[in-house]
Chain A
Amino acid sequence: SSWWSHVEMGPPDPILGVTEAYKRDTNSKKMNLGVGAYRDDNGKPYVLNCVRKAEAMIAAKKMDKEYLPIGGLADFTRASAELALGENSEAFKSGRYVTVQGISGTGSLRIGANFLQRFFKASRDVYLPKPSWGNHTPIFRDAGMQLQAYRYYDPKTCSLDFSGAMEDISKIPEKSIILLHACAHNPTGVDPRQEQWKELAATVKKRNLLVYFDMAYQGFASGDINRDAWAVRYFIDQGINIVLSQSFAKNMGLYGERAGAFTVICSDADEAKRVESQLKILIRPMYSNPPVNGARIASLILNTPDLRKEWLTEVKGMADRIISMRTQLVSNLKKEGSSHNWQHITDQIGMFCFTGLKPEQVERLIKEFSVYMTKDGRISVAGVTSGNVGYLAHAIHQVTK
């Protein structure tokens, strides 16, 4: 008999399931729109030029492989903070922040969640937008927090339910934690406009909520790193001491290298030092210290003017291609003769698009056209190319006309 007889089979990952089914499909026209990774216009993974250059520079330096500090590579964490907060940020310049290297976005979120569980005694409640990234809930739950929700996406308009969000947020108990997607909301692609962010900030301040920003797409959403970080910076300017998780998986294409960061904006540098010491105590029994490769690459890019310039161009290139695919999808749908309003496809931003397709329609797209997406109608625009956007429009039109 086994210790594990009673262990249940874990449920299959819904998103991975999409890719598995796609792989088994023999249709030459098949499309994988479940993938959460950028693809170039040939549908291939894209390694940024600035990344290749940084890798060559790193190789030439012949560095050793000694352990990083628990909090990570200092040049990386400093540059990450500056990227998010802006070089003119008072919080950054005064040093009233701590940034630790995390295992990409997930690891950074988890460190933050554990930190809040241990030190934020006012509440166990984390408010997520409805819907949010599927992994947010289990991350916070495993960290020992409870999950609540506020209205966010309006399925009738495929856009932001702003009044619903404001209504819900203004009722959140004081000192609860609210998670906000800094830009390119996952999975809907629906972001608040700047005037809406201002109102959200005012409400959140009035309710005295702890704000947790998840920024996984800085630069990748609009093509402009400053524009994509606007909400984060605005909140801090309003005196809201946020906590922030960053990922370099998408905007630098460093997916498997796991480069990320977790930041706490503090009252002063002394508080930041104390917070840092506690973050290290959390990290050490998780994995001791973080992996160097992705952080070295990201650090070199952010800290080398030429490489940084090249990176900004490349990230804009990726964002522009996505935006162009959105535009082409809409115009192709019109060409197909669709009478539906597809404006939300171009209104939404970032890698993902909530098409508004119903489960039955998604099922038909998969079965009849070999177009794979998640049941909620979410597509990864990164999987669309100029070569297949016509086919996609045709397929969508067939199941919605």
Chain B
Amino acid sequence: AYRTDEGQPWVLPVVKKVEQMIANDNSLNHEYLPILGLPEFRANASRIALGDDSPAIKENRVGSVQSLGGTGALRIGAEFLRRWYNGNNNTATPIYVSAPSWENHNSVFMDAGFKDIRTYHYWDAAKRGLDLQGLLNDMENAPEFSIFILHACAHNPTGTDPTPEQWKQIAAVMKRRSLFPFFDSAYQGFASGSLDKDAWAVRFFVSEGFELFCAQSFSKNFGLYNERVGNLTVVGKDADNVQRVLSQMEKIVRTTWSNPPSQGARIVATTLSSPQLFDEWYGNVKTMADRVLLMRSELRSRLEALGTPGTWNHITEQIGMFSFTGLNPKQVEYMIKEKHIYLMASGRINMCGLTTKNLDYVAKSIHEAVTKIQ
């Protein structure tokens, strides 16, 4: 979760404002939302992902399912794919998850009934970057119709995203081999500070004519973690197909949670549908993204100034909340035990944990770990 420079959670000012508006609106009650969610939320959420001028939206071939966070959106999508994709109830369709990935991806698709969950090459530890060739090879060799979970931006946990050129290569292979793109978009806006930039990959795939799913989370970019605000965007060939897909997703939702929680969706819908509130929100998002970007550049410059062995450009080249530092497990243990700095055994740090007050200490500690421990 995001933290301020004081190390505190941050409720976005625009969220506080909108919550007050909602609280003061006596016309609102706690009635059930429709099964697929709050209509104004669904339309706005998908619009954010695909862009105001999205041809798919104009052609009325976009569907949306309000879900319980990004996880819920992934699960509804996975359950639908298991029932209706590549035949009926085909649990053998391979699911490809990046190596590494958010560990819950595996569980979501496993619990949805898929039996064959595989990894695709992604992180190149040696060069500390994207193993594009490995990725493309895996796609070339994947069985036709395999499902690939793609991180739309700010790859979790590596922070390493394909460049637009690399995305184009990925899309070309996927199209040729009839692979299904299931995007996980948990950091739109939060990663670069630009909604459009962070959605570039998803929108490119749409412009290439793909049918795809995009699981969106508003936990980070709206700071609405515990309200469970998510959306599954469905892009299909035409309105008729999308309509049938949604009708079946409705059945899945009905046996999972019946209808989604209203509070978070109301906050997001109100914000996104008001030009003024939207601008305020964008400013809040940029505040968060900028702080993380600043911490990245400050950490890198300190490491370089200290002459810490190795190269540290990956710290600023990576994007989003997480960074794969390249520290090995022994070095990580040193950080935890000797320096009381907590990070994952993979060397992943949460950039949000850095503040102007602890930058020096963290940089020095990394320097010590790298020089003392091999």
Interface residues of A (CB under 8 A from B): 1-10, 13, 16, 37, 45, 47, 51, 55-56, 59, 62, 64-68, 103-107, 110, 135, 138-139, 141-143, 249, 253-258, 281-282, 284-294
| Interface membership of B312, Cβ < 8 A | no
Which B residues between 64 and 88 are near A, CB-CB below 8 angstroms?
A: 67-69, 71-72, 75, 84-86, 88
In the docked arrangement, what's the CA distance between A254 and B227, Å?
A: 15
B256 and A64 within 8 A (CB): no
Q: B257 at the A/B interface (Cβ < 8 Å)?
A: yes
Binds A, one of B159-167, B193-201, B260-268, B341-349: B260-268
Asked, given contacts A10-B248, A104-B258, whether A65 binds B243 with beta carbons under 8 Å apart, the answer is no
Inter-chain contacts of B75 with A (CB < 8 A): 285-287
**Cβ contact of B30, chosen from A9, A64, A257, A286, cutoff 8 A:** A257
A residues within 8 A CB of B9?
Answer: 64-66
A-B contact sample (9 more), CB < 8 A, given A65-B227, A103-B68 = A2-B241, A6-B88, A47-B30, A56-B23, A66-B1, A110-B256, A258-B258, A286-B72, A287-B257
* A135-B258, A256-B32 known; A291+B23 contact, CB < 8 A: no
Taking the complex as formed, is B236 at the interface, i.e. its CB lies under 8 A from any CB of chain A? Answer: yes
A139 neighbours in B (Cβ, 8 Å):
255
Of chain B, the residue at the smallest CB distance from A59 is B23
Pair B68/A282 contact, Cβ less than 8 Å = no
A9 to B251, CA, bound (A): 11
Interchain CA distance A258-B66 in the complex, whole Å: 14
CA distance A290 to B86 in the complex (A): 32
A-B contact pairs, 26 of them (CB 8 A): A1-B237, A2-B237, A2-B238, A3-B86, A8-B244, A9-B244, A10-B247, A13-B254, A64-B11, A67-B226, A68-B226, A107-B258, A256-B31, A256-B32, A256-B259, A257-B262, A281-B107, A284-B71, A285-B71, A286-B111, A286-B256, A287-B71, A289-B226, A292-B226, A293-B227, A293-B263
CA distance A141 to B211 in the complex (A): 29
Residues of A within 8 A of B238 (CB): 2
CB neighbours of A105 from chain B (8 A)? 258
Say which residue of A7, A249, A285 sits within 8 Å of B248 (CB atoms).
Answer: A7
What is the minimal beta-carbon distance from B76 to any residue of chain A, in angstroms?
10
A6 to B241, CA, bound (A): 9
Residues in B with CB closer than 8 Å to A286 are 68, 71-72, 75, 111, 256
B236, A2: Cβ atoms closer than 8 Å: yes
Structural contact, B223 and A258, CB atoms closer than 8 A? no
Q: Which 10 A-B pairs have the closest CB atoms?
A: A287-B68, A10-B247, A285-B107, A106-B258, A256-B262, A2-B237, A103-B257, A64-B9, A291-B261, A292-B226
Which of B29, B180, B223 contacts A45 (CB under 8 A)? B29
- Asked if A45 contacts B225 (CB within 8 A), the reply is no
* Interface residue B170 (Cβ < 8 Å from any Cβ of A): no
Q: Which of A45, A62, A138, A284 contacts B254 (CB 8 A)?
A: A138
Q: How far apart are A348's CB and chain B's nearest CB, in angstroms?
A: 23
Q: Which residues in B have their C-beta under 8 angstroms from that of A106?
A: 254-258
Q: A45-B29, A64-B11, A107-B258 are in contact. Are A292 and B227 (CB under 8 A)?
A: yes
CB contact list, B53-68 vs A, under 8 A:
67-68
**A285 lies within 8 A of B236 (CB):** no
Docked Cα-Cα span, A68 to B236, in Å, equals: 35
Please give, as numbers and ranges, the residues of chain B lying within 8 Å of A6 by CB-CB distance: 84, 88
* Docked complex Cα distance between A287 and B34 (Å): 18
Tell me how far the C-beta of A240 lies from the nearest C-beta in chain B, rounded to whole angstroms.
Answer: 27
A68 to B315, CA, bound (A): 30
The reply on B228 being an interface residue by CB < 8 A is yes
Does chain A have a CB within 8 A of B104?
Answer: yes
User: Once the chains bind, are A37 and B264 in contact (CB under 8 Å)?
Assistant: no
**Shortest beta-carbon distance, B67 to chain A, in Å?**
8
Q: Quick check: is B18 within 8 A (CB to CB) of the other chain? A: no
Contact present for A285 and B237 (CB under 8 Å): no
A104-B257, A110-B255 known; A67 vs B247 contact (CB < 8 Å): no
Docked pose: A7 CA to B234 CA in angstroms:
14
Chain A: CB-nearest residue to B219: A67
CB distance from B320 to the nearest CB of A (A): 18
Q: Within 8 Å of chain A (Cβ to Cβ): is B110?
A: yes
Contact A66 B226 (CB under 8 A): yes
Which chain B residue shows the least CB distance to A51?
A: B30
Is B140 on the interface with A (CB-CB < 8 A)? Answer: no
Note all chain A residues with C-beta closer than 8 A to B20.
59
- With beta carbons under 8 angstroms apart, the residue of A37, A47, A138, A284 that contacts B251 is A138
CB distance from A74 to the nearest CB of B (A): 14
Q: Which residues of A contact B184 (CB under 8 A)?
A: none
* Chain B residues closer than 8 Å to A143, beta-carbon distance: 255
CA distance A254 to B30 in the complex (A): 6
Residue numbers in A under 8 Å from B211 (CB-CB)? 2-4
Query: Within 8 Å CB of A65, what residues of B?
Result: 9, 11, 15, 223-227
Tell me which of B31, B180, B226 has the highest count of chain A C-beta atoms within 10 A of its own C-beta: B226
**For A10, A142, A253, A287, which residue has the most chain B Cβ atoms within 10 angstroms?**
A287
A40–B278 CA distance with the chains assembled, in angstroms:
37
Any chain A CB within 8 A of the CB of B19?
Answer: yes
Bound-state Cα–Cα, A56 to B24, Å: 10
- Against A, the Cβ 8 Å flags (1 = close, 0 = not) of B304-348 are 000000000000000000000000000000000000000000000
Report chain A residues within 8 Å CB of B72. Answer: 286-288
Q: Contact: B104 with A288, CB < 8 Å?
A: yes
Does B359 have its Cβ within 8 Å of any Cβ on chain A?
Answer: no
CA distance A6 to B180 in the complex (A): 16
B33 in the interface (beta carbon within 8 A): yes
Instruction: Knowing A66-B225, A103-B68, say if A37 contacts B255 (CB, 8 Å).
Output: no
CB-CB < 8 A to B32: which residues of A? Answer: 37, 249, 255-256
Q: How far is the CB of B256 from chain A (nearest CB, A)?
A: 6
Q: How far is the CA of A294 from the CA of B263 in the complex (A)?
A: 9
What is the CA–CA distance of A126 and B212 in the complex, to the nearest angstrom? 37
Chain A residues, Cβ within 8 Å of B298: none
Instruction: Assess A5 versus B227: contact at CB under 8 Å? Given A47-B29, A65-B11.
Output: no
> A45 and B31: CB pair below 8 A?
yes
B43 to chain A, nearest CB (A): 18
Instruction: Tell me if B108 counts as interface (CB < 8 A to partner A).
Output: yes
**What mask results when residues 27 to 48 of chain B are scored 1 for a CB within 8 Å of chain A, else 0?**
0011111010000000000000
Does the CB pair A107–B256 fall under 8 Å?
A: yes
Do residues A287 and B248 form an inter-chain contact, with CB atoms below 8 A?
no
- Smallest CB separation, B92 vs chain A (Å): 16
**How distant is A67 from chain B, measured CB to nearest CB, in Å?**
5
Residue of A nearest to B1 (CB): A66
Nearest A residue to B68 via CB reads: A287
